[in-house]
Amino acid sequence: MANIKLKEISTRAPKDWNKEETKENLASILAKLNELQNLLYAESQHAILVILQGMDASGKDGVVRKVFTSMNPQGVRVHSFKVPTAEEFSHDFLWRIHGVAPPKGIIQLFNRSHYEDVLVTRVHKLIDEKTVKKRMKAINDFEQLLQEHNNTRILKFYLHISPEEQQERLQERIHDPTKQWKYNERDFEEAKLWDDYMAAYEDCFEYCNDVPWTIVPADQNWYKEHVIAEALLKTLQKLDMQYPGLKKG
Ligand code: ATP
Ligand code: MG
């Protein structure tokens, strides 16, 4: 995806998109996902990795809660990547990632991911530009390794919100008692680096797109959830899976 300019891409559903129909449709997609996830688990031939990236308050947690809780928890795993620990720091940046890559039969969600290592670290100039390029190459190779050597399907989503929507959501974290636990005053400082983050994301879309990114308009949760659920459904349907039948022997 060369020359993507996030500023030129809408953060909202297409005009006249029907919200009620979309919500109803989501319910039926979730039911189908539940069935297919059962089959994925039973067959245990493929692994699924869903990568969620986005600015603070872009709704990553909401995707986990709304799209993935309809499935059997036995076959779905979530890992949220935080600032690396001292031990993680003492290894290469993919070490902590590879350890939680999905085994066959499992849908693994990454709430943030190895992309943080070419985003937050780059924006704060913790790594130089040469290292950024090398890491991007390592990321492409790593994603290819998972695909080729463990039958992993990777879906990468960027939750695209506007800076105005982000400010509104960060304010809500101050005032809404159910959201105060998410409040972090540092988020307001990070928000000031918006343009640098957008440029870093645009480079990820350009240089790490061997496994393609989906840019998800995410100002409206109902639309965001629908786009992601539908993409996951299409991926699972294409796997052409079979129940294994009675075990032999
Ligand atoms: P929300 O989007 O709801 O604000 P969050 O993903 O920011 O949630 P937090 O626990 O608030 O969750 O923050 C996690 C922090 O860890 C983020 O600021 C992220 O940039 C940081 N982080 C994740 N991976 C890395 C990394 N490899 N290097 C440095 N920082 C990282
Ligand atoms: Mg945060």
CA-based nearest residue to 34, from 248, 232, 239: 232
Determine the atom of ligand 1 nearest the C-alpha atom of 60: 2
- Within 10 A of 174 (CB to CB), how many other CB atoms are there? 11
pLDDT at residue 225 tops 90: yes
- The total number of residues shown for the chain amounts to 249
Distance 90 CA to ligand 1 centre (A): 19
pLDDT band at 55 (very low <50, low <70, confident <90, very high): very high
Q: Is the CB of 43 under 6 A from ligand 1?
A: no
Residue ranges of the domains in the chain?
A: 14-237
Distance 241 CA to ligand 1 centre (A): 35
Q: Tell me the per-residue pLDDT of 193-219, one tens digit each, with 9 for 90 and over.
A: 999 999 999 999 999 999 999 999 999
What is the reported pTM? 0.97
Q: Is the CB of 225 under 6 A from ligand 1?
A: no
In the chain, the DSSP E strands lie at 47-54, 76-80, 107-111, 152-160, 213-217
Asked if 43 and 104 count as a contact pair (C-beta separation under 8 A), the reply is no
CA-based nearest residue to 183, from 56, 85, 63, 82: 56
Q: Is the CB of 83 under 6 A from ligand 1?
A: yes
In order of 50, 81, 125, 162, 219, the CA distances from 156 in angstroms are 6, 15, 24, 19, 18
- Within 10 A of 9 (CB to CB), how many other CB atoms are there? 11
Q: Tell me the per-residue pLDDT of 89-124, one tens digit each, with 9 for 90 and over.
A: 999 999 999 999 999 999 999 999 999 999 999 999
Q: Domain 14-237: give its CATH code.
A: 3.40.50.300
Q: Is the CB of 188 under 6 A from ligand 1?
A: no
Q: Tell me the per-residue pLDDT of 7-40, one tens digit each, with 9 for 90 and over.
A: 999 999 999 999 999 999 999 999 999 999 999 9
